[in-house]
Structure 1
Amino acid sequence: MRSDTERNRRRLIRAAAYLVARRGRAVKMTDVAERAEVSTATAYRHFGSVEEIVAEFRTDVGRQLLEFSNAERATGVARLRAVCGEWVRLTVKHGGAMVHTRSEDGYLQRLRAGAGYLSAQAEALAEPISSATAELGFPDPGDIGLFLWNILFDPREIFDLRDTELLDDEQITERLTGAFLGALQGWSNRL
């Protein structure tokens, strides 16, 4: 890809993330193009909609989580806790842009359909979840583990815990990871 093409693409992603974090879903492609300092036509050459840009932004965040997960040397619950902590850190770092990805389809439906913004995140979590459940003597939950994680580690809920309960990132990580392990245990008792 040409350097100016890649530069424009990155600018559009940053602009959309910035605007969506501040305005929510009310952002239009013309707003993103203006913020990125490109024409609206250029914006549409790269992306079909603001939602598509935000999905690409979330894919990039998922890739960052995957890189962290692949580099993490801890195993079992310690690895899972580290990856969960990195997710909390990334969510807080990227703010409101992490909140505004919504779909009418359920998580498992989107995951199994290959939604790009979920794939890297799921890949980052699959081994840590499997390793933690093996350490604890639970059966590997497969996609259900990702489903349960998604429920607990939803960015909206992370911000709710920070803003309403005044928990710091470490407290959020510890409590949500503990709740997640409890959910995995509860699910395994039903198998």
Structure 2
Amino acid sequence: MRSDTERNRRRLVKAAAFLASRSRTEVKMAEVAERAEVAAATAYRHFGSVEEILAEYRFDVGLRLLTFSQKTQSHGVTLLSEVSAEWVRLVVKHGRAMVHTRSDEGYLARLRSGAHYLTVQADALARPISEAAEELGLPAPGDEGHFLWNILFDPREIFDLKDTVGLTEDQISHRLVAAYCGSLRGWTLEGAVDH
């Protein structure tokens, strides 16, 4: 990719994230283009919508989580705790633009259809989730383990716990990991009863 093309893409992602994190209304492509100092036609050459730009932003954050997860030497629930804490830190650092990737489709449908901003996050969590399940004496939960983690660690809920309840990032990650482990036990045991 040419350097000016890559620069324009980065500027559009940065502009969309800035606007989305500060706006309670829908951000328009024209606003993003203006903030990025590019023509609207240029913005549309790179992205089909503001939602697409914000998905790219979320993907970039997911890549940071993946890198962290791959470098982390811990195992089991400790690994899950460390990766989950890093996610909370990344969400808070990257702001409310993280809450704008929504769809009419459920998490598993989007994950299984290859939504790139979710698959990179799932890749980052694959080892932590499977090792935590093993340490807890549970079978590997597969996609359903990711589903449960996504429910608890949704950026919107992280900001709610931080801003409404007043929890610190450490308190949020510790409590959510504990809730996740309990949920995983309940989900897996209930699934065994269903069969």
Residue in structure 2 matched with residue 187 of structure 1 by the alignment? 187
Trace 1:55-66 onto structure 2 (pairs within 5 A).
55-66=55-66
Q: Distance in 2 between matches of 1:80 and 1:26?
A: 34
- The residue number in structure 1 matching 2:176 is 176
1:138 Cα deviation after fit: 0.7
Deviations 1:26-72 (A, max 9, x none): 11111000100111111111111101100111111111110110011
Consecutive unaligned residues in structure 2, runs of 5 or more:
none
In the TM superposition, what are the counterparts of 1:29-178 in structure 2 within 5 Å? 29-178=29-178
Q: TM-score, normalised by structure 2?
A: 0.96
Once the two structures are TM-superposed, the CA of residue 3 in structure 1 deviates from its matched residue by: 0.8
* 2: CA distance, partners of 1:96 / 1:16: 11
- Distance in 1 (CA, whole Å) between partners of 2:63 and 2:24 is 23
Q: 1:110 offset after TM fit, Å? A: 0.6
Alpha-carbon distance change, 24 to 56 in structure 1, aligned in 2, over 3 angstroms: farther
Equivalent residue letter for 1:22: R
Query: What letter matches 1:28 in structure 2?
Result: K
Q: Runs in 1 of length 4+ with deviation above 2 angstroms?
A: none
Paired with 1:122 and 1:17, the residues of 2 have a C-alpha distance of: 22
User: Cα RMSD (Å) of the superposition?
Assistant: 0.8
Count residues with an aligned counterpart: 191
Question: SS of the counterpart of 1:121?
Answer: helix
The runs of 5 or more residues in structure 1 that have no matched partner are none
Structure 1 CA distance for aligned equivalents of residues 105 and 120 of structure 2: 18
Quick check: 1:24–1:100 contact (8 Å CA) kept in 2? no
Contact 1:84 1:177 in 2 (8 A): yes
3-state DSSP class of the match of 1:164?
helix
- The superposition leaves residues 105-151 of structure 1 with CA deviations (integer Å, 9 ceiling, x where unpaired) of 01111100101110100000011000111111111100000000000
- Give the distance between the partners of 1:150 and 1:25, measured in 2 at CA: 24
Structure 1 residue 25: Cα displacement: 4.8
Residue 16 (structure 1) aligns with = 16
Q: 2: CA distance between counterparts of 1:162 and 1:55?
A: 23
Aligned equivalents of 1:67, 1:87: Cα separation in 2: 12
